[in-house]
Amino acid sequence: MTCRYITNYDPGWSSIINKVSALPGKEIILDRAALTGLEYETLFNMWDSAGYNQDSIKWINYYASDYGYLIEKQFERILAVTHIRSWISRVDPGYTAPWHYDIDVNEQEYRKLGNVRRFVCFIGQPAVGHISVVEKECFYNEASGNVYEWDNYRAWHAGANVGLEPKYQYNFLAYS
């Protein structure tokens, strides 16, 4: 098992999605000039070798400054952990966040805090074509509010939207 179901939690995800959907967020695209270093090069080479259409690689991140800091505090309480960072990711129809692990320049600092843990919450309503994969586990048609913990916060994962409306999920990195 790569992920463990924790709970279902809904602080008003529909309202939060409505709020962030009107904002530009931070667009993440395959930008070799901006994303440098051996880890990024390894991912880019892997995607190139697989034949990815580079124009299909795009997702948008929203941060607490976009949707409010209360969610972080609520997740800390529910999960009995301390927040490190969190974000909402959005993948629009026809786009992917291909097979990768998260690269974070602050990772060594996080590890000094304690046991680093990764949680994901599916926040949109189940919709055709919304796919998330973590290692060997595939998530499809998850109920809004389902929270899972990953076995390894650096697990390989991907997301794709082959549906007709944006796909949203809340990502929460914490320590205990």
Backbone phi, psi, residue 167, to 5° = -105, 125
Domain of 104? 3-175
Q: Residue 40 has what pLDDT?
A: 81
Q: Is the pTM of this model over 0.85?
A: yes
The domain total for the chain is 1
**pLDDT, tens digit (0-9, with 9 covering 90-100), for 107-125:** 899 999 999 999 999 999 9
**pLDDT, tens digit (0-9, with 9 covering 90-100), for 148-161:** 999 999 999 999 99
Token reading at 36: 């440098």
Backbone phi, psi, residue 126, to 5° = -55, 135
| CA pair distance 74, 11, nearest whole angstrom | 9
Residue 59's CATH number: 2.60.120.10
Q: Residue 104 has what pLDDT?
A: 84
| Between 23 and 106, the higher pLDDT residue | 23
Distance, first Cα to last Cα, the chain: 21
Mean pLDDT (the chain) is: 93
Beta bridge partners of 118: 173
Instruction: Please name which of 164, 47, 24, 25 lies closest in space to residue 97, comparing C-alpha atoms.
Output: 47
| CA pair distance 107, 111, nearest whole angstrom | 6
**pLDDT, tens digit (0-9, with 9 covering 90-100), for 64-75:** 999 999 999 999
Half-sphere exposure of 13 (CA within 13 A, CB side): 20
Please say if the pLDDT value at position 32 is more than 70. Answer: no
